[in-house]
Amino acid sequence: MAALGAAVRALLAVARARSPPLGHRPPHAPCSAPAAARGAAMEPAPRWLAGLRFDNRALRALPVETPPPGPEGAPSSPRPVPGACFSRVRPAPLRQPRLVALSEPALALLGLGAPPADPAAREAREAEAALFFSGNALLPGAEPAAHCYCGHQFGQFAGQLGDGAAMYLGEVCTAAGERWELQLKGAGPTPFSRQADGRKVLRSSIREFLCSEAMFHLGIPTTRAGACVTSQSTVVRDVFYDGNPKYEKCTVVLRIASTFLRFGSFEIFKSADEHTGREGPSVGRNDIRVQMLDYVISTFYPEIQAAHANDRVQRNAAFFREVTRRTARMVAEWQCVGFCHGVLNTDNMSIVGLTIDYGPFGFLDRYDPDHVCNASDNAGRYAYSKQPEVCKWNLQKLVEALEPELPREQGEAILAEEFDPEFRQHYLQKMRRKLGLVHAELDEDGALVAKLLETMHLTGADFTNTFYLLSSFPVGPESLGLPEFLAALTAQCASLEELKLAFRPQMDPRQLSMMLMLAQSNPQLFALIGTRANVTKELERVEQHSRLEQLSPAELLSKNRGHWADWLQAYRTRLEKDREGVSDEDAWQAERTRVMHANNPKYVLRNYIAQNAIEAAENGDFSEVRRVLKLLETPYHRDGEATEVPEATEPEGADGADSGGHSYSSKPPLWAAELCVT
């Protein structure tokens, strides 16, 4: 015990000693020094993390920039990085790093064991995590580098982007034979930071940390998050871009994935774009494109490499076909849990089909196919319903980036052949499971799902809770319990107050009137302003809000009951067809319920749940982050739980409830609709 206490004090002392005062940035270590030598000469020795064995294959297989000498060429100086896929960097230390939370399931990927029961040992472990996962010290064998990539952002080619706030640490090889890339996000400036500081803050880091793990436990392909570490270092952020900046704490997330390479990794070779005039930093370097394809396919698609070892074009075609299929399945999974990414640029699309880069994401509360989770997406390019088409558009840009190693015509033919059928098949299969259709697959199922979503839209039903509640639908022909079920279902629909809030006009009436006059008097100028879609949407809001003003709560409830009664009748008829020919109806019902419970989550990371955790953490209390993390590790129904979704609240402190007693499996509180994420 005394030895452990001494270890804790030693690690904390090292962290404090390595923490610079605010506003001070220590000089970078020479980039020519080998990583092992740097670790041996400069870094404290890890204990808990000592078993991590690095083998940094990406840095051996792909070109790495050696930064130019002198102050102007310091590793963090923003600059173009031609002829390289990585540039060596060094994390900038933080002042008094402090652990927010660890994800034990994510760290288990690296072969790191469960937390010790002894409090002193646990404290030593957390102190070591704060030191090494903040970037204040480097693990032996780590070789920090920033990845160079480009991207189409909101449909326009932006030129060089790169890891402006993330750093590749290296690749850990485990005893199980797996290889995992480690990244620190928010560890300081890189050549790709442009005018930014390379830092992330507590609110955005908690969101990424929690959602990475939530998506994994939902069964969706994703990068992982092993740790979240905050500090006393601060940066200034204008949260809503409204001229009200404030100081926020610098925070770092340890990210884990097989690779963080993305579509934009292959766009560094792009010639000058016809619309923006921007070009990639490595125009004309097809030799590097060949290196990247060889590395990606041999490392992450070895079965394709083996099958096409003697035909590069067919190998590259098979690679693109598999990327297309994985991407289609991934976005189908998003649609089935109501996940909105928010920033589906080509630089945020994983080359191995993972959900990557969690920024202004959101899960649907009230079902709205046009929901836009990113308040900065004024045109709604990345709305929920548009995600499949945007992913397909991004794959088209990948086709263009792979040329000439994959002829464009061949790549486009693969995209046309594969994406839509793969998406539709995976989406419909998942929806069948969500509806408990366990035996027969009928052509009419697509129409049943479409009608369900239409009903949810008409009634403003909660996406997650509606699907979860359907597992308790009374199937028998005698319809016992149907009135009670219908009452529970309509309780998940939007109230009149919620709808008025959702459809309240966004423009000043005088501004809207001026826009309409301009559309009539000068349509060319109106088109140049580019606000036609916004004005149309505003007119729809005004009309809908006017209708709602004439509606009473009782009338709304009656309309909702009618919509749901119609759909439930069609659903009952379809379930009867699924049950036809079944010899054991109890076994069929049990299987139906089990499948629905395994595919309809009770908990997702709604924005207000994340916001509760953020606000507590900003006040120094990390317990809510850790509690929400634990809740999200088991998002689906557990044996012994009641299936019904709670309508109001649970006792304060109950499992799955916030500190105010609101159940995290209930409809969100009204204030949740006011949250704005950019």
Residues recognised as catalytic: 347
- How far is residue 265's CA from residue 356's CA, in Å, rounded to a whole number? 14
Q: Beta 166-173 vs 179-185: how paired, if at all?
A: antiparallel
User: Nearest 5 degrees, angle CA 493-CA 666-CA 565?
Assistant: 30
Residue 674 tokens, joined: 């006011």
Q: Where are the beta strands (DSSP E) in 330-481?
A: 339-340, 362-363
Cβ pair 97, 126 in contact under 8 A = no
546 to 223, 327, 505, 539: CA distances (angstroms)? 45, 41, 10, 11
Cβ pair 260, 165 in contact under 8 A = no
Residue 117 tokens, joined: 């029961």
Under DSSP, the state recorded for 662 is B
Q: Report whether the peptide linkage leading into residue 245 is cis, meaning its omega lies within 30 degrees of zero.
A: no
Per DSSP, helices labelled H in 253-375 are 286-300, 302-307, 312-337
Of 460, 453, 464, 457, residue with least CA distance to 490? 460
Give the DSSP H/E element, type plus range, for residue 146.
Answer: strand 145-147
Compute φ and ψ for 489, nearest 5 degrees. -70, -45
Residue type, 583: S
Q: How many Cβ atoms from other residues are within 10 Å of residue 326's Cβ?
A: 17
- Collapsing DSSP states into helix, strand and coil, what is residue 580? coil
Of 634, 644, 605, 632, residue with least CA distance to 468? 644
- Collapsing DSSP states into helix, strand and coil, what is residue 50? coil
Q: For residues 355-386, b (16+ Cβ closer than 10 Å) or e, as one string?
A: bbbbbbbbbbbbbbeebbbbebbeebbbbbeb
639: left (phi over 0), alpha (psi -120 to 50) or beta: beta
Q: Cα-atom radius of gyration of the chain, to the nearest Å?
A: 26
CB proximity list for 626: less than 8 A, separation 6 or greater: 101
- How far is residue 553's CA from residue 557's CA, in Å, rounded to a whole number? 6
Residue type, 67: P
CB proximity list for 292: less than 8 A, separation 6 or greater: 62, 85, 261, 265, 266
Q: Where are the beta strands (DSSP E) in 123-241?
A: 145-147, 150-153, 156-160, 166-173, 179-185, 200-201, 224-237
- How far is residue 573's CA from residue 595's CA, in Å, rounded to a whole number? 19
* Full 3-state SS string of 602-645: CCCCCHHHHHHHHHHHHCCCCHHHHHHHHHHCCCCCCCCCCCCC
Residue type, 513: S
Of 106, 137, 195, 110, residue with least CA distance to 13? 137
Compute φ and ψ for 625, nearest 5 degrees. -60, -45
Q: How many Cβ atoms from other residues are within 10 Å of residue 458's Cβ?
A: 16
